[in-house]
Structures are given as structure tokens and as C-alpha cells.
Amino acid sequence: MNDEYEQEKARRQRQAREWRPGEPLPTIAYTPEEDALWETVTAKLRSLHEGVACAHYRRACESVVLERERVPQLAEVSPVLTALTGFHLRPAEGTVPVERFLGAFEEDGFYATQYLRRPESPYHSPEPDVLHELVGHAVMLGDPVFADLYRRFGQTAKRVSSPDALRALIQVFWFTLEVGVVLEGGRPRVYGAALLSSVAEMESLSQVDLRPFDIAEIVSQNFDDMHCMPVLFAVESVDHLVTELNRFLTRL
């Protein structure tokens, strides 16, 4: 099973590597087993989103409607995002170098992998997969407020040059647009893509060390993205998040 998985993953990575801008996005021949995995995991995620996802995400889901019974193609989702916020998807071979990954946001581009997580680990993937990209990032990119935040990260990534500034940028991106939490009605709600696409992360939300949003503490907080997050930062509102991130990104 592992050999077959790695072989198929390598084929899809090759398709992404061979893609050139201006060409149609690669079409992936997902297997019935992968479609079934997608259906099972996304059904569980949707049930959790009803009580745990932030209002911006739930509204965006009404516009970025993902297939429920099969893995969607990037080519199906990308034009929807373009119509909503101007963003488009680009195929990623795997983990993209951070400067290129973040920098693409300035050009309204998002690099997305097209392979699916391992079947033996359906509820938490230690690496980005197509489920993470679409359920997490793509839906949030359909929201104008969050699309603008991605764009601001991209503009900053193109501008900063020092290793310390880049590290701070990565830290803040991780603890916001990947594993961010916002308080709504006094309760924690998730807006970060890594949380929104992980059953395990959302089910463990009540057990994490949830700290007040503080940029300085975020920059100094260590993290291991191979496991569920033990520490998260909750901002008091999306408006406050926008204000704090714009202040940080301008000064960086």
C-alpha cells in the first residue's frame, strides 16, 4: 500500500513539476478509494465546521462549493476563486519554498498540492494535501477579507530581505492563516486552514493552551507542524486581526 501510494504521489508531483503558467491545470485521475476517503473526511469536517468554524468561513462555503462525493480538480475550483476575489490556484509538487509560496500571494496565486493524504491517517495530515488546500485555504481565499490578508503577506514576503524578518513573517502566517482562532460570542472559532482541514485539530480545540493574541509572543513561539498544536492564539475579532496584521506587516 505504501509503495503504491508513493508511486501515485510521485506521478502527481511530476505533473505539477512539468506544468507551466498559461497551461491548463493538471487533471488528476483520483481512484474510487480516494474519492471515498474525501467523502468520509469532508463529511466529518463539515459536521465540525457547524460548531467550530468562524462565520467568515461558513459564509465562504456558500460561494466556494466543493464536491462532496469526489475529490475536486484544481481546475474546477480556481475559476470560482478568481470570480470571487481574483485568486487562482497553481499546482504544487509538494512543500513549496516559503519565499515562493508566500510571494505568490502578491500575484493572487496559491500553490496547491494535488495528492491526497495517506488512508491510514485520514483525520490529520502532517503535510499539505489537496484536502488541506481546498477545504482549508481555497475556501478562505473565497472570502474578500481573508484574500486581502493573504495578499498582504505576499507583498511583505516580496519586500523583506533579512532572515529574522522572514522568520517572523513565517511565524505569524502560521499562527494566523494556518492555525488561527478567533473569538465569536466569547467562544473560540477557527479560521486557519490547517485547523479547518483537520478533524483531529478541531476535536482537540478544547484541550489546547489558548492564549490571547499577541504578535510578540507569536513570533517567539516554537511549533511542530507534524502534530496537533498544543498552543494557539485567539484574536478577539476578525477586525482586530486585520488591524494587528496590517500593523505588523507594515512595520516588518
Question: Which residues are catalytic, by number?
Answer: 132, 137, 178, 197
* C-alpha to C-alpha distances, 247 to 22, 169, 236, 243, nearest whole angstrom: 35, 13, 16, 6
Between CA 114 and CA 198 the distance in angstroms is 17
Q: Between 238-251 and 144-159, two packed helices, what is the crossing angle to 10 degrees?
A: 10
Report the distance separating Cα 119 and Cα 161, nearest Å. Answer: 40
